[in-house]
């Protein structure tokens, strides 16, 4: 199988993706060379889900995402699932959220 990119993964850019009504969480490493962070951003912007979040983890690649950004990774999932953050001082923008 070839590299997966927004050019080969079309659901979010399709009519179905633009009409999506579910929730979406994308956690992506900013230093990912396998699937560039720009692809994650494009998927985020193309999806019409009313509750969507993009978390970019600085310095993280494709395979070391959890090792480099474990606290951000865990907090993103916790916030997405439970709707609250345990670190009230950090704003989404300061944590790489879009």
- Rounded to an integer, what distance in angstroms lies between the CA atom of residue 24 and that of residue 20? 9
10 occurs within a structural domain:
no
Range of the domain at 76: 15-95
Q: How confident is the model at residue 9 (pLDDT cuts 50, 70, 90)?
A: low
* Close Cβ partners of 16 (under 8 Å, ≥ 6 residues apart): none
* 97 or 68, higher pLDDT: 68
Q: What is the CATH number of the domain that holds 21?
A: 3.40.50
86 occurs within a structural domain:
yes
83 occurs within a structural domain:
yes
pLDDT tens profile 25-83: 999 999 999 999 999 998 888 888 888 999 999 999 999 999 999 999 999 999 999 98
* 9 or 1, higher pLDDT: 9
49 occurs within a structural domain:
yes
4 occurs within a structural domain:
no
3 occurs within a structural domain:
no
First-residue to last-residue Cα distance in the chain: 30
Q: Are 48 and 17 in contact (CB under 8 A)?
A: yes
């Amino acid at each position: 199988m070839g590299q997966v990119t927004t050019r080969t993964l079309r659901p979010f850019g399709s009519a179905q993706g633009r009409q999506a009504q579910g929730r979406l969480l994308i956690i992506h490493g900013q230093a990912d060379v396998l699937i560039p962070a720009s692809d994650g951003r494009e998927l985020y912007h193309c999806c019409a889900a009313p509750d969507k979040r993009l978390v970019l983890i600085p310095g993280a690649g494709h395979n070391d995402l959890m090792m480099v950004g474990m606290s951000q990774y865990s907090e993103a999932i916790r916030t997405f699932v439970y709707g609250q953050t345990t670190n009230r001082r950090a704003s989404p923008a300061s944590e790489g959220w879009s």
